[in-house]
Amino acid sequence: MKVLVAVKRVIDYNVKIRVKSDQTGVETANVKMSMNPFDEIAVEEGVRMREAGTADELIAVSMGVQQCQETIRTALAMGADRGILVQTDAELQPLAVAKLLAAVVAKEGPELVLVGKQAIDDDSNQTGQMLAALLGWSQGTFASKVELAGGTAKVTREVDGGLETVELKTPLVVSVDLRLNEPRYASLPNIMKAKKKPIDTVTPDDLGVDVSPRLEVVKVEEPPKRAAGVIVEDVAQLVDKLRNEAKVI
């Protein structure tokens, strides 16, 4: 079975986000970038499937600027077999990413696509669902456990009331959650080997996909700072402030 995993280059989760002075977005110049943490979990799951003999080949796909090759190399160092970069300088929104992934899937023919449930930069949580709809495939979202056997998959997913297990037919799209696994650190020998693994580069035009944005960002601003708390003398003063200042009672 061939498995395709999507990886996204995002601002590192340890970096403090700064809004641009013109409020058109967040500052990305001279900022540390890394693989989206949820995508690391997806890569780890794909590598474990291949090590267990469930998968024969693991392909890492990323979309964006040329520097996304670094993200693909990280996936290759973790254990992916080869990479595909859809190179474009355009702003890629979830629908465009889903369409590009669908085109790559049509070209490569995997039976399973693994994606992170969301990216930590835009928190859209849309790409996996849109991809499954475009392909007409089964989908398992927020997966905390995946078991493949005989053309079916049992996916345990996290819901508000606890855990839900669904049985799905392949081919399918799975978006992974935090508790699925603990991603490995790439060893130095594997990092060196990753430099020799192939990365194919294509463009949206090669795939016949229009990536024009559907949404326009009007303004980006930081959330307002929280006001300092007030220590009250007694319950009567607390009730007075809740009634007359906060107006919540």
pLDDT at 64: 92
pLDDT at 223: 84
Report pTM.
0.84
Residue 249 lies in a domain: no
pLDDT at 122: 86
Residue 160 lies in a domain: yes
Residue 20 lies in a domain: yes
Q: Domain of 186? A: 2-244
What does the pLDDT look like over 104-120, one tens digit per residue? 999 999 999 999 999 99
Residue 117 lies in a domain: yes
Residue whose C-alpha is closest to residue 115's, from 96, 89, 97, 90: 97
pLDDT at 60: 96
Q: 42, 116 in Cβ contact below 8 A?
A: yes
pLDDT of the chain along its 249 residues, tens only?
899 999 999 999 888 888 888 888 888 888 899 999 999 999 999 999 999 888 899 999 999 999 999 999 999 999 999 999 999 998 899 999 999 999 999 999 999 999 999 999 888 999 999 999 999 999 999 999 999 888 899 999 988 888 999 999 999 999 999 889 999 988 899 999 999 999 999 999 999 999 988 888 888 888 888 888 889 889 999 999 899 988 888
Number of domains the chain is built from: 1
Q: 134, 102 in Cβ contact below 8 A?
A: yes
**CATH label of the domain that carries residue 126:** 3.40.50.620
